[in-house]
Structure 1
Amino acid sequence: MQLKWINFFFYLALVVLISVYTYETIITFSSINSYIGDEVWYPTAAYNMLKLVFHLNPPPMINIGYPNEQNIQTYINPEHPPLAKYIIAVFIYFMGYYPIAWRLPSWILGDLMLIVGYFLAKKMVGNGILGNLAGILSSLLIALDPNVWSLHGIGLLEIYVSFFSLLSLYFLLNDKPLWASLALALAMLSKESAYVLIFPFLYYLGEISNNVKKRAMYGIGLPVLIYVLFSTPLIAYYGGVKAWLDATVIHSASWDITNGHITLTATSQISTPWDWFLNIHSFYLGYNLYANTNPYVLILWIVTTPLAFIFRDSKLITTTMWAWTMWIGFVIVHLLGNHTLFSFYVTDFMPVADTYVVVSLFRLVQKINILK
Structure 2
Amino acid sequence: MNIIKKITDARGLKLFIIGIIICLVLSGYKFENEYNIAKSQNWYVSDEIWYVPSSVLILKDIFHLNATYEVNNLTGLNLFFSSYQGMLTCENFVLQNGGEILKGDYIKNTAIAVAVPNNLVKSLGQCKDLTDIIPGFPLPDTSNVNTYINPEHPPLGKYIIALAIYLLGDKPICWRLPGIIEGAAIVIIAALAGWRLAGIFGMILASTAASFDPLTTNMASVAMLDIHLAFFTALGSLFYIYDKKNFSLLFFSLASTIKYSGLFLIPFLILFLYKKENDIIGAFFKVALAQLIVAIIVFLPYIIHFGPVWVISQFVSAIIWNTQSRPPGPPASTPIDWVFGLHSFYLSYNPDIPAKGLPFIYIPVFFASLLTFPVYFFKISENKNLEKFAGLSLLSFFFFFFYYITYFAGNKTLYSFYFTQISPIYYELFPLSILLFIGYYNISGFYYEKIKELAALFSKLVEKFEKHFRKNRNQAQVGSHITLLTGV
TM-score by length of 2: 0.69
Residues 66-93 of structure 1, C-alpha deviation per residue, up to 9 Å, x if partnerless?
Answer: 1010011111110001001001101101
Identity of aligned residues (%): 27
Say which SS state the counterpart of residue 37 (structure 1) adopts.
Answer: coil
1:45 to 33, 39, 54: 54
Residues 210-243 of structure 1, C-alpha deviation per residue, up to 9 Å, x if partnerless?
Answer: 245652354221122111111011112222x122
Deviation of the 1:119 alpha carbon: 1.1
Residues 168-218 of structure 1, C-alpha deviation per residue, up to 9 Å, x if partnerless?
Answer: 121123221111111112101111111021111111222221245652354
- Structure 2 CA distance for aligned equivalents of residues 152 and 327 of structure 1: 22
Q: Which residue of 2 aligns with 1:150?
A: 218
8 Å Cα contact 1:307-1:360 kept in structure 2: no
Residue 274, structure 1, aligned to residue 342, structure 2: no
Q: What aligned pairs does 1:185-334 form with structure 2 within 5 A after superposition?
A: 185-212=253-280, 215-239=283-307, 241-247=308-314, 249-260=315-326, 263-264=327-328, 266=329, 269-286=331-348, 287-305=351-369, 306-309=371-374, 313-334=386-407
Say which SS state the counterpart of residue 290 (structure 1) adopts.
Answer: strand
Deviation of the 1:297 alpha carbon: 2.4
Pairs aligned (count):
358
Distance 1:104 1:148, change over 3 A: same
8 Å Cα contact 2:339-2:366 kept in structure 1: no
- Structure 1 CA distance for aligned equivalents of residues 65 and 321 of structure 2: 29
The answer to which of 138-147 and 37-46 deviates more is 138-147
The answer to which of 358-367 and 140-149 deviates more is 358-367
Say which SS state the counterpart of residue 236 (structure 2) adopts.
Answer: helix
Say which SS state the counterpart of residue 270 (structure 1) adopts.
Answer: coil
- Structure 1 CA distance for aligned equivalents of residues 375 and 168 of structure 2: 51
8 Å Cα contact 1:282-1:293 kept in structure 2: no
Deviation of the 1:26 alpha carbon: 1.8
Unaligned runs of 5+ in 1: 126-130
Q: Which residue of 2 aligns with 1:128?
A: none
8 Å Cα contact 1:7-1:132 kept in structure 2: yes
The answer to which of 52-61 and 93-102 deviates more is 52-61
8 Å Cα contact 2:271-2:283 kept in structure 1: no
Relative to its length, the structure with more strand (as a share) is 2
The one-letter code of the counterpart of 1:205 is: L
Residues 129-167 of structure 1, C-alpha deviation per residue, up to 9 Å, x if partnerless?
Answer: xx1221121111122222111101111011111111121
TM-score by length of 1: 0.90
Q: Which residue of 1 aligns with 2:413?
A: 340
Q: Which residue of 1 aligns with 2:190?
A: 117
Q: Which residue of 2 aligns with 1:97?
A: 170
Distance 1:362 1:308, change over 3 A: farther
- Structure 1 CA distance for aligned equivalents of residues 262 and 65 of structure 2: 30
8 Å Cα contact 1:10-1:133 kept in structure 2: no
- Structure 2 CA distance for aligned equivalents of residues 273 and 360 of structure 1: 20
The answer to which of 60-69 and 227-236 deviates more is 60-69
1:32 to 26, 41, 53: 41
Residues 307-351 of structure 1, C-alpha deviation per residue, up to 9 Å, x if partnerless?
Answer: 454696432221012122122222111111111111111111112
Say which SS state the counterpart of residue 264 (structure 2) adopts.
Answer: helix
8 Å Cα contact 1:21-1:111 kept in structure 2: yes
Say which SS state the counterpart of residue 70 (structure 1) adopts.
Answer: coil
- Structure 2 CA distance for aligned equivalents of residues 276 and 121 of structure 1: 23
Q: Give RMSD over aligned pairs.
A: 2.1
Deviation of the 1:366 alpha carbon: 3.9
Unaligned runs of 5+ in 2: 1-9, 71-75, 77-101, 103-136, 379-385, 446-488
Distance 1:119 1:67, change over 3 A: same
- Structure 2 CA distance for aligned equivalents of residues 2 and 181 of structure 1: 27
Q: Which residue of 1 aligns with 2:434?
A: 361
8 Å Cα contact 2:331-2:345 kept in structure 1: yes
Say which SS state the counterpart of residue 40 (structure 2) adopts.
Answer: coil
- Structure 2 CA distance for aligned equivalents of residues 15 and 111 of structure 1: 9
Deviation of the 1:122 alpha carbon: 1.5
8 Å Cα contact 1:17-1:140 kept in structure 2: yes
The answer to which of 58-67 and 165-174 deviates more is 58-67
If you compute each CA radius of gyration, which structure gives the higher value, 1 or 2?
2
Distance 1:176 1:281, change over 3 A: same
The one-letter code of the counterpart of 1:157 is: L
- Structure 1 CA distance for aligned equivalents of residues 30 and 11 of structure 2: 29
